[in-house]
Structure 1
């Protein structure tokens, strides 16, 4: 690690259903204004901007930022599937840590359409060809949408290998709803019970109900990232820093293992987490609060093991013992996570940053994890990329 990197300010707009949001550029502009105000910096102090989105034309980042200011700075548009927001954060952190710049903006937004995610360009090869072939061989069910087959198939693999019960995933979803009830920015704030989740419409018999999947969502979030020297020079808030960060992409095991859990990024997540722990000189037992990529309840369970929060094969016990929530070992997704807060692809990684920054500042209101000092973020995109970030309170 080079220059110490500070999260000086964060901003986020309430997440909404498709069709109910403002246009992407309006959401993005609002999130940026919030982050700038929170950091107490003016836009001309920003030296670079990294803007993430998945569903949009070229230079949407400029469209969102030009109303904030036209200062001629580099604006880099980023697309890395569901890890887009944290990829923008990764690039911003890297620029500051290297000493190339002192103050950078990371922004993510998404204006999504209703319904299952699908390819936008059907006249050319999909980047998921190898994933789709492997999924067809391992789980079949071509009538089920691919994202459900990916993560439902991974959950089923865990069930088959370790005897995990379907209602364990329902416990995860119910926990997410309890947390989101205290988050005014979450899409779904209604609490649901394990029985509610189990009795929801089935999307894959014996494998997944509808409430175990996150909804398509619109939203935006942003962060101002700067060096410690810059923050101290300008009297900025230095309470939260990025202590370690790593991005991993797929390994040969993604396909060669013939394992759906690895197909959906288990090895990427484990590799990135191990590198982050090594950089920081700590272990998973030192983490107080986690925001992880629960696009499906099944992926949250897999990620507990990938991040080392519990032993491999021990995630069901971790859940049923309540070690994933307040009063347990580590609070996971106090925001409500993707399952309840929502998942606007380009914004998700920066929304996680928003939540964890407030947790470490002690300003998360009813969601506050008491005494939180170390926070871990996990953001996954198939195809693939996984970013793991470790934050620390001063």
Structure 2
């Protein structure tokens, strides 16, 4: 089993739907940037795992062919919002097992404006059971289903622990403070707590519009290499993947009758525990986290699922400033999905991009001081969760 290093990362600025280049251009550019960062040519890549959610089959090949047509395996990956980190997971497995020494993981998305919806309406939906339970547990007529899922999870936390709507607003305001320093983020305007609370209420008492991430277009990529390959070719070895875990739903997703578990709380907790055990570290050893804040509500419940604070203590974690610079663990220094944007297939690799730069010490205005351990959390309903632990050398 080889140790796996992140030799190069690349990412393009995220954009609103209609304002981006086509996925072919975005994917190729992110690939070129990752190769440039690794100081490698495309000819060195032995396999490619390419993730996207909304696109035709073999769109992965179409995105990398402008960079090179070398005959290597190109595997297309689709795992909802965890697609990018699933591509990363497969690439890491291939390098670690010795199947290949140099692999590209690429994610991109060219999205349309508006709420997410089904593309194929003439067959059973993967979300039939999810929708049925959400309809049973949450009365929110007219609220789009994704908002009902995560707003319902936030409402479950509010009822269980007394969490206030104002606390979710503080999460959103924090995201904007971080994103103002990230030149690749979609939204860089700093928002105040009052801005978030005063925005349009899309679910009275539960969510304002600013508490939801926007549809986004973009691409990001990483080059993973084995230890032997890095040594032979003089590649950088300052950031490694120390542990990684991928989980899917268990019976508790539905049997618990809890909206937090319906949106992946147990998947997240299981993946995080696996990673901590494999790496022989505790959650309080983590310096910086990029987690799946598709809604402010999911960021809050993910603090507890990832073990960053005890269950029921997320509100105190936020109020005390333990989720930002100067606190216990800087969360989403990139601005996260809420401000950086959420191009579904690219999100997991954009998180890899940010954490790799943090551990290298090259994150510039978003830099977390002396970051040594980074944790990545990427969640896709339906479902899949990938948690990745990165470590700085030395």
Query: Normalising to structure 2: TM-score of the pair?
Result: 0.99
Is 1:136–1:142's contact at 8 Å kept on the other side of the alignment? no
CA offsets per residue over residues 370-393 of structure 1, 9 Å max, x none? 000000000000000000000000
Query: Unaligned regions of 5+ residues in structure 2, if any?
Result: none
Q: Secondary structure at the residue paired with 2:346?
A: helix
The 1-side partners of 2:141 and 2:26 are apart by: 36
Deviation sequence 1:74-107 (CA, Å, 0-9, x none): 0000000000000000000000000111000000
Compute the displacement of 1:141 (Å). 1.9
Aligned partner of 1:253 in structure 2 is: 252
Tell me the SS of whatever aligns to 2:75.
strand
Residue number in structure 2 paired with 1:360: 359
Question: 1:345 aligns to what SS in structure 2?
Answer: coil
Return the alpha-carbon distance in structure 1 between the equivalents of residues 389 and 282 of structure 2. Answer: 11
Match of 1:208 in 2: 207
Work out the CA distance in 1 between the residues paired with 2:116 and 2:274.
31
The answer for the alignment partner of 1:60 in structure 2 is 59
Aligned with 2:353: secondary structure?
helix
Partner residue, 2:142: 143
Deviation at 1:340, TM superposition (A): 0.1
Aligned 1:272-351 pairs, distance under 5 A? 272-351=271-350
Corresponding residue for residue 86 of structure 1: 85
**Structure 1 residue 226, shift from structure 2 partner:** 0.5
State the alpha-carbon separation in 1 of the partners of residues 383 and 160 from structure 2.
24
Secondary structure of 1:250 counterpart: coil
1:317-373 deviation line (CA, Å, top 9, x unaligned): 000000000000000000000000000000000000000000000000011000000
Q: Distance in 1 between matches of 2:41 and 2:141?
A: 51
Give the secondary structure class of the aligned counterpart of 2:379: strand
Tell me by how many angstroms 1:228 deviates.
1.1
**Does the aligned pair in 2 maintain the 1:186–1:336 contact within 8 Å?**
yes
> Partners of 1:264 and 1:217 in 2: how far apart?
21
Alignment of 1:76 with 2:89, yes or no, is: no
Equivalent-residue separation in structure 1 for 2:232 and 2:127 (angstroms): 47
Deviation string, structure 1 residues 236-276 (Cα, Å, up to 9, x no partner): 11000000000000010000000000000000000000000
2:194 maps to what in 1? 195
Gap runs ≥5 in structure 1:
none
Partners of 2:344 and 2:24 lie apart in 1 by 15
CA contact 1:108–1:347 (8 Å) conserved in 2: yes
**Partner in structure 1 of residue 225 of structure 2:** 226
After the TM superposition, list the runs of 4 or more consecutive aligned residues in structure 1 that deviate by more than 6 angstroms: none
Cα displacement (A) at 1:142: 3.4
Q: Secondary structure at the match of 2:8?
A: strand
Partner of 2:95: 96
- Deviations, residues 146-187 of structure 1 (Å, cap 9, x unaligned): 000000000000000000000000000000000000000000
User: What secondary structure, in the 3-state scheme, does the structure 1 residue paired with 2:284 have?
Assistant: helix
Partner of 2:23: 24
d(CA) in 2 for partners of 1:143 and 1:330?
37
1:232 to partner: Cα distance: 1.1
Tell me, what secondary structure is at the counterpart of 1:203?
A: strand
Take 1:141 and 1:369, find their aligned partners in 2: how far apart are those partners?
A: 40
2:123 is equivalent to residue 124 of structure 1: yes
Aligned to 1:133: 132
**TM-score, structure 1 length as denominator?**
0.99
Deviations 1:29-65 (A, max 9, x none): 0000000000011111100000000000000000011
Which secondary structure does the structure 2 equivalent of 1:346 belong to? coil
1:65 and 1:369 map into 2 onto residues whose CA distance is 33
Offset of residue 143 of structure 1: 1.2
The equivalent residue for 1:180 is 179
Match of 2:108 in 1: 109
Map Cα deviations across residues 168-215 of structure 1 (whole Å, 9 max, x no partner).
000000000000000000000000011100010011000000000000
Aligned to 1:236: 235
